[in-house]
Amino acid sequence: MSYLEYNTQRMPKGMAKVLYMNWPLVVLLIAVACYGFVMLYSVAAGNARPWMEPQMQRFGVGLVVMLVVAMVPIWFWRSVSGLAYGLTTILLLGVEFFGSVGMGAQRWLEIGPLRLQPSELAKITTIMALAAYFDWVDIKKISRPVFVLGAAVIVLLPVFLVVRQPDLGTALLIAAAGGAVIFAAGVHWGYFAGVIGSFVGLVVAVFTSRGTDWQLLKDYQYRRIDAFLDPTLDPLGAGYHINQAMIALGSGGWSGRGFMEGTQSRLNFLPEKQTDFIFTTLAEEFGFIGAGSLLVLYVMILGFCLVTVLRTSNRFAALLAVGVTANFFLYFAVNTAMVMGLAPVVGVPLPLVSYGGSAMLVLMGGFGLLQSAHIHRPRLPT
């Protein structure tokens, strides 16, 4: 691809670009972030500190980041994709060797005053690298094993490094978002069937072997899996948090218990109520109306992202937009499924709502790329 295929004459220029952004998406992002501000105010028992105020600042910075990224032409981002991916890989290796331990896992890299979470960065750069890769590969040869293998390597290298941290949740997210890009690029569905099929086969083998002489795992490992899959088995141990989260969520009812009236969060029965479990507080205090409307907003965001995907004829831009969308979807789907007891507890925040800086900035950067794709889409001569 080169920028020559764009009709540069019709490309918006300068500050006029702002007018050509995917504005409904911007509005939706702000709306979702406002849910976050309200909930962070509530979980701090009616105080702007320690969470709401910094979150607002970060979101402001996030909006600026999105705007800046959006202003830069998409072909620039394509040309730096490989570089960004390489840099991320180096940072991930840096975490491996020099990372500082936080929350029981090596995730942070401290460079001077900066605290970096390279695994967050990897979510976007992996998608960029894949999109660039499939833009480069000849469309007719795309399903050849050697090219599929290349894509797999691009995905699995950061996944492997993130698993080593160990951060299984993020690794799975990177893999799944990568999978979405590979799928969208048009790789033969047989590969996906094969991967899914062998995964299912492995799971079945592990479980059917339980209690037989060819048992694949040790007994204690099975017990851990049990508690992981069904936390209610162990209400005082690992399952305590998820049970409390479900109680909070369920007790919200139709209209919730009222703003700052959620007993589960106010009395500290909820774990990490400002981060991964913030959805439960929302559901407890604002009920189905609050939690359901947030899910609807998320779906609308997905919809407007899809608009960008469909409106661009640029292969890199479209694949990148698919990846960013998939990444965002995986965030909220895994998080809400987790607090509703449908998925095991893995550390995944609720996008734009949970308190946290790195994830927010990377997410907004991703939307910036999507906006850039939207602004700089090829336009047909009229």
Give the residues lining the site for another protein (CB under 8 A): 1, 136, 138-140, 180, 183-186, 244, 246-254, 263-264, 267-269, 283, 287-288, 291-292, 295-296, 298-299, 302-303, 306, 309-310, 313, 315, 318-319, 322, 325-326, 329, 333, 336-337, 340, 342
Pick the closer one to another protein by CB: 17 or 377: 377
Smallest distance from another protein to CB 237, Å: 15
Residue 272 gets the label, from left (phi > 0), alpha (psi -120 to 50) or beta, of left
Q: Which is nearer to another protein, 121 or 318 (CB)?
A: 318
Indicate the residue among 308 and 358 with the shorter CB distance to another protein. Answer: 308
Nearest to 279 by CA among 120, 43, 28: 43
Per the structure block, which two tokens stand in for 49?
A: 């500190």
Closer residue to another protein, CB minimum distance, 93 or 289: 289
Residue 252: CB minimum distance to another protein, A? 5
3-state secondary structure of 115: strand
| In the complex, least distance from residue 247 CB atom to another protein, rounded to whole angstroms | 5
Distance, CA of 271 to CA of 265 (rounded, Å): 8
Which of 312, 323, 299, 306 is CA-nearest to residue 374? 312
**Closest distance to another protein from the beta carbon of 249 (Å):** 6
Query: Which tokens hold the place of 86?
Result: 């390489």
Place of tokens 């698919």: 322
The smaller minimum CB distance to another protein, of residues 164 and 311, is found at 311
Task: Write out the DSSP string of 6-39.
Answer: S-GGGS--GGGGGGGS-HHHHHHHHHHHHHHHHH
At closest approach, how far in Å is the CB of 120 from another protein? 21
CB of 372: closest distance to another protein in angstroms?
17
Are the C-beta atoms of 371 and 66 separated by less than 8 Å? yes
**Between residues 259 and 288, which has the closer beta carbon with respect to another protein?**
288
Which residues, in sequence order, are CB contacts of 8 under 8 Å at separation 6+? none
Q: Which helix (H) or strand (E) holds 111?
A: strand 105-111
Q: Give least dist CB 44 to another protein, A.
A: 15
Paired tokens of 141 = 């040869």
Nearest residue (CB) to another protein, 171 versus 270: 270
